[in-house]
C-alpha cells in the first residue's frame, strides 16, 4: 500500500506538500519522496524510512517550484527495494514527475514494450513503467510543447497497456504551464481525490485528510478511466476516456484509510460505525451474550462503542498499548516472545477476570497475533471469550495493492463455510467467532466495492502466470 499527494500553486509548494504528505504517513512508512518542478528543473529527494528521515528539513529549500508530488511507500512482503526504487520518478525528456498507489500486474510485458522503443527501466518499482509508458506516448506525438490532447493520448495509452490497479498523479508542462494530472484505472480500485487549497491552488491526494491539513476543500475524486488536469487559478478540466463499473477497494473502508477521510461513499468512521452496528445486530441474533465489549487496539475503539451502544452493554479499554514501538532485542524462546507481545499490548486483569468478554476487531488476515492475544488474556481467568469482526472472512489474496500474504497463509481460507467457525474457535481458543455477513456488508456500504478478498471475484483479470509471479515474490 502507498499514498501520494500532488500540488500545483503559484508559490513554492514543497513546505505544504510535506505537511500534506505527513497526513497520509499511515499509508506507508518504508520510503518517502518529494519532487518539484520549477519551470527549468525537476528537483527530487527520496529515501528510506519515515518522511522525517527520508526528506531531511535541510533538503526542503532545494525543492524549488510551484508544482510537485510527494509519496510514501508501504513495506511490501518479499521485496528488496533500495532508495532508488522510492517514488516519485521523473524523466528528463519530456520532463515529467509521477507517483502512484496500486499494483501493476503486467510489469514484464511493459518492460519488453519499452525496451523495443529504446527506453530502459532502471528500478524495481512499478511506477517507473507507468511513467515511461506515459512519457514515451507523449514523445511519440511531439518532443516538446505538449497540449491537453497529447496528455489525453498518453493517459489513454497507459489505461490500455498497464494492467492492475493504479491511482496516479503526474506533474508536467502542458500548454506551457505547470500542470498537475491525476487519473485512475478504469475501475477506480485505489482511492484518489482532489480539491482546492486556499489561494487558488489544487491538491490531489490518496485521501482527503491531506486537504484538511492544508485547510482545503474537497471537490471530487480522481477520474477512473479518464483524467483531471489541474492548474493554479484555472478550473479543473475533467476528461473521460472510457470508465467501467466503479469498484473501489473495500479494505480502505474497513481498515486502511484514516477514519477522518472521505471516500466515494462518505466519511470512513461513519461507515465503520455502521458496519459495527450491523455486526452487533447479527451477533445478537445468534443469541450470544457478553458482559463487556473490548476493542482490540489500535483502531477498533469506535466500533466497540457502536457495538456496546447497540447491545446495551458497557465497553472498556482492556488493553494498554505501548505508544513506543521500536524494534526489540528478541531472544528466540517462548518466554521472551510472550514478553514482547505483552510489551506491545498489556491486558488489564480486572477487565477480563471472571467476565464474559466480546473482543472486537476490524479484520483478521493471518490470525497469528489474535491467537497470541487470546492466549494472553486466557491467563487472566475470563469466563468466556467471544470474537467479533466487522468484516467478512478474508479468503483470497489481493493483487491490487493491499499487502496481503499468499492464500496459504490466510487463516480463514481453505475451510468449508459451515466448518469455519469451529476451526477458528479451536485455533484462537474462543467460545465463538463472528464475522460480519457479506450481505450485511453490502447492505451497509452504498458503493459497489471490489471485495475480491472476501469473494475471489477479481475485477481486473490476473493471469495464472501473473498470479504465480506475484505470490512467488511475496513468499521470498
Contact map string, positions 230 to 259, toward a copy of itself, x by CB under 8 A: ----------------------------xx
Looking at beta carbons only, is 18 or 453 nearer to a copy of itself? 18
Q: Which of 2, 193, 398, 453 is catalytic?
A: 2
Of 70-109, binders to a copy of itself (CB under 8 A) are: 82, 90-95
Of 104-133, binders to a copy of itself (CB under 8 A) are: 111, 115-122, 132
Q: Is 421 exposed, middle or buried (0-12, 13-18, 19+ CB in 10 A)?
A: middle
d(C-alpha 400, C-alpha 131), whole Å: 18
CA-based nearest residue to 161, from 112, 123, 221: 112
Contact map string, positions 12 to 51, toward a copy of itself, x by CB under 8 A: ---xx-xx--xx-xx--x----------xxxxx-----xx
Question: Least Å distance between CB 363 and a copy of itself?
Answer: 18
Among residues 75, 77, 144, 217, the one that binds a copy of itself under rule CB under 8 A: 144
Looking at beta carbons only, is 62 or 455 nearer to a copy of itself? 62
Q: Is 417 exposed, middle or buried (0-12, 13-18, 19+ CB in 10 A)?
A: exposed
Of 161-200, binders to a copy of itself (CB under 8 A) are: 198
CA-based nearest residue to 197, from 160, 155, 146, 233: 233
Contact map string, positions 282 to 321, toward a copy of itself, x by CB under 8 A: ----------------x--xx--x---x----xxxx--x-
Question: Least Å distance between CB 320 and a copy of itself?
Answer: 4
What is the total count of residues that contact a copy of itself (CB under 8 A)? 84
Question: Least Å distance between CB 371 and a copy of itself?
Answer: 18
Task: Give yes or no for a contact between 124 and 476, defined as CB atoms under 8 angstroms apart.
Answer: no
Task: Give yes or no for a contact between 239 and 159, defined as CB atoms under 8 angstroms apart.
Answer: no
**3-state DSSP assignment of residue 278:** helix
Our finding on whether 213 is near a copy of itself (CB under 8 A) is yes
CA-based nearest residue to 380, from 424, 416, 350: 350
Task: Give yes or no for a contact between 234 and 208, defined as CB atoms under 8 angstroms apart.
Answer: no
Question: Least Å distance between CB 124 and a copy of itself?
Answer: 10
Let me know if 2 is a catalytic residue.
yes
Q: Is 435 exposed, middle or buried (0-12, 13-18, 19+ CB in 10 A)?
A: buried
Handedness of CA 209, 210, 215, 219 (dihedral sign): negative
Question: Least Å distance between CB 244 and a copy of itself?
Answer: 31
By annotation, the residues acting in catalysis are 2
Amino acid at each position: 500500500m502507498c499514498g501520494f499527494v500532488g500540488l500545483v500553486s503559484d508559490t513554492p509548494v514543497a513546505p505544504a506538500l510535506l505537511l500534506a504528505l505527513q497526513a497520509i504517513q499511515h499509508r506507508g512508512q518504508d520510503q518517502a519522496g518529494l519532487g518539484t518542478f520549477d519551470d527549468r528543473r525537476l528537483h527530487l529527494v527520496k529515501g528510506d524510512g519515515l518522511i522525517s528521515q527520508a526528506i531531511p528539513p535541510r533538503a526542503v529549500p532545494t525543492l524549488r517550484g510551484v508544482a510537485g508530488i510527494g509519496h510514501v511507500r508501504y513495506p511490501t512482503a518479499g521485496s528488496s527495494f533500495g532508495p532508488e526504487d522510492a517514488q516519485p520518478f521523473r524523466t528528463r525528456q519530456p520532463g515529467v514527475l509521477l507517483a502512484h498507489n496500486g499494483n501493476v500486474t503486467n510489469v514484464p510485458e511493459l518492460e519488453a514494450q519499452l525496451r523495443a522503443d529504446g527506453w530502459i527501466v532502471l528500478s524495481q518499482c512499478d511506477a517507473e513503467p507507468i511513467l515511461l509508458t506515459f512519457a514515451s506516448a507523449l514523445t511519440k506525438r511531439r518532443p516538446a510543447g505538449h497540449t491537453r490532447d497529447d496528455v489525453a493520448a498518453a493517459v489513454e495509452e497507459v489505461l490500455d497497456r498497464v494492467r492492475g490497479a493504479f491511482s496516479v498523479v503526474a506533474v508536467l508542462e502542458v500548454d506551457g504551464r505547470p500542470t498537475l494530472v491525476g487519473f485512475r484505472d478504469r475501475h477506480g480500485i485505489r482511492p484518489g481525490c482532489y480539491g482546492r487549497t486556499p489561494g487558488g491552488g489544487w491538491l490531489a491526494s490518496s485521501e482527503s485528510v491531506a486537504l484538511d491539513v492544508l485547510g482545503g476543500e474537497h471537490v471530487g475524486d480522481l477520474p477512473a478511466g479518464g483524467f483531471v488536469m489541474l492548474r493554479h487559478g484555472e478550473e479543473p478540466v475533467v476528461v473521460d476516456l472510457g470508465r467501467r463499473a466503479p469498484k473501489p477497494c473495500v479494505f480502505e473502508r474497513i481498515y486502511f484509510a484514516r477514519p477522518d477521510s472521505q471516500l466515494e461513499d462518505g466519511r470512513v468512521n461513519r461507515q465503520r460505525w455502521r458496519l459495527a452496528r450491523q455486526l452487533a445486530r447479527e451477533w445478537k441474533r445468534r443469541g450470544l451474550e457478553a458482559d463487556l465489549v473490548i476493542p482490540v487496539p489500535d483502531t477498533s475503539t469506535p466500533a466497540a462503542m457502536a457495538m456496546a451502544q447497540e447491545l446495551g452493554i458497557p465497553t472498556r479499554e482492556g488493553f494498554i498499548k505501548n505508544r513506543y514501538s521500536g524494534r526489540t532485542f528478541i531472544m528466540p524462546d517462548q518466554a521472551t516472545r510472550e514478553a514482547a507481545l505483552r510489551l506491545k499490548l498489556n491486558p488489564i486483569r480486572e477487565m477480563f477476570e471472571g467476565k464474559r468478554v466480546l473482543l472486537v476487531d476490524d479484520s483478521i488476515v493471518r490470525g497469528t497475533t489474535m491467537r497470541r492475544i487470546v492466549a494472553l488474556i486466557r491467563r487472566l481467568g475470563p469466563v468466556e471469550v467471544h470474537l467479533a469482526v466487522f468484516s467478512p472472512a478474508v479468503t483470497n489474496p489481493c493483487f491490487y495493492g493491499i499487502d496481503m500474504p499468499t492464500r496459504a497463509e490466510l487463516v480463514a481460507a481453505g475451510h468449508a463455510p459451515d466448518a469455519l467457525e469451529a476451526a477458528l474457535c479451536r485455533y484462537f481458543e474462543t467460545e465463538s467467532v463472528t464475522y460480519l455477513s457479506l450481505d450485511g456488508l453490502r447492505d451497509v456500504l452504498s458503493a459497489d466495492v471490489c471485495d475480491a478478498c472476501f469473494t475471489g471475484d477479481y475485477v481486473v483479470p490476473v493471469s495464472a502466470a501473473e498470479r504465480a509471479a506475484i505470490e512467488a515474490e511475496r513468499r521470498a
